[in-house]
């Protein structure tokens, strides 16, 4: 077994991840998955994606057990960012924008990063609120939408239950005029940023540079 185990899925596919860092890639982490991983005696565990409501989430206790055993645990992107913000004082390493957003209380709820995905293919079926808000803010900075429209879009997105949260539904429910909607769609298609994916790449880069 590989001595580096990484839990990822919708934020970064195993195929894409393997091109960057040779490791053992497992599906999004859930309760007791870290304990199972410890039986393989890894040197490093990377947590990017995790389950939120499909089954119990990965517990703080099992991550702390890994740390107590001397395993380096690095988190970022999604569930990894959330847990790292809660456990970095205990030794877990957090990287990326999402981790920093949790650490500074810019975001606080798992709803900000939660998505639904096809468990067989890891294909995204919804969009993360943190990605949406980042792209809406970028569009506002470029004059695509106004500050008032930005606030309306965020409130609309936040009001939608995360499994149903998509750009199309948010725009449909928003108060934006059709001309603005078309401009925003074009902006997101051409310049949209997936910060969860970017952070997932940072997790791999951090592990490669520090523990390979």
Is the domain of 17 the same as that of 63? yes
Is the domain of 10 the same as that of 105? yes
Is the domain of 11 the same as that of 59? yes
pLDDT at position 122:
72
pLDDT at position 127:
94
Confirm whether 15 is domain-assigned. Answer: yes
pLDDT at position 212:
79
Is the domain of 114 the same as that of 139? no
Is the domain of 40 the same as that of 56? yes
Distance CA 176, CA 145 (A): 9
Residue 191: which of 115, 119, 120, 137 has the closest Cα? 137
Q: Which residues contact 9 (CB under 8 A, 6 or more apart)?
A: 27, 28, 48, 49, 117, 122
Domain of 171 in residue numbering reads as: 129-191
Is the domain of 104 the same as that of 202? yes
Is the domain of 141 the same as that of 37? no
Is the domain of 185 the same as that of 99? no
pLDDT at position 25:
97
Mean pLDDT by 10 residues, the chain (212 residues): 89 94 95 96 97 88 97 97 96 97 91 84 86 96 96 96 95 94 95 96 97 86
Is the domain of 78 the same as that of 137? no
């Amino acid at each position: 077994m590989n001595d580096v185990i990484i839990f990822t899925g919708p934020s970064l596919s195993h195929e894409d991840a393997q091109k960057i860092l040779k490791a053992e890639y497992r599906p999004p982490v859930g309760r007791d998955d870290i304990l199972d991983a410890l039986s393989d005696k890894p040197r490093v565990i990377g947590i990017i994606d995790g389950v939120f409501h499909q089954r119990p989430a990965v517990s703080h206790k099992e991550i702390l057990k890994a740390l107590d055993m001397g395993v380096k645990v690095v988190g970022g992107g999604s569930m990894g960012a959330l847990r790292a913000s809660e456990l970095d004082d205990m030794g877990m390493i957090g990287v990326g924008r999402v981790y920093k957003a949790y650490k500074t209380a810019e975001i606080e709820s798992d709803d900000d990063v939660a998505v639904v995905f096809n468990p067989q293919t890891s294909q995204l079926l919804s969009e993360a609120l943190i990605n949406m808000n980042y792209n809406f803010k970028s569009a506002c900075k470029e004059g695509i939408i106004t500050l008032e429209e930005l606030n309306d879009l965020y409130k609309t997105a936040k009001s939608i239950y995360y499994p149903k949260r998509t750009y199309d539904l948010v725009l449909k429910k928003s108060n934006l005029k059709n001309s603005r909607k078309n401009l925003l769609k074009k902006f997101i298609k051409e310049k949209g940023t997936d910060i969860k994916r970017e952070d997932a790449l940072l997790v791999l880069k951090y592990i490669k540079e520090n523990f390979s």
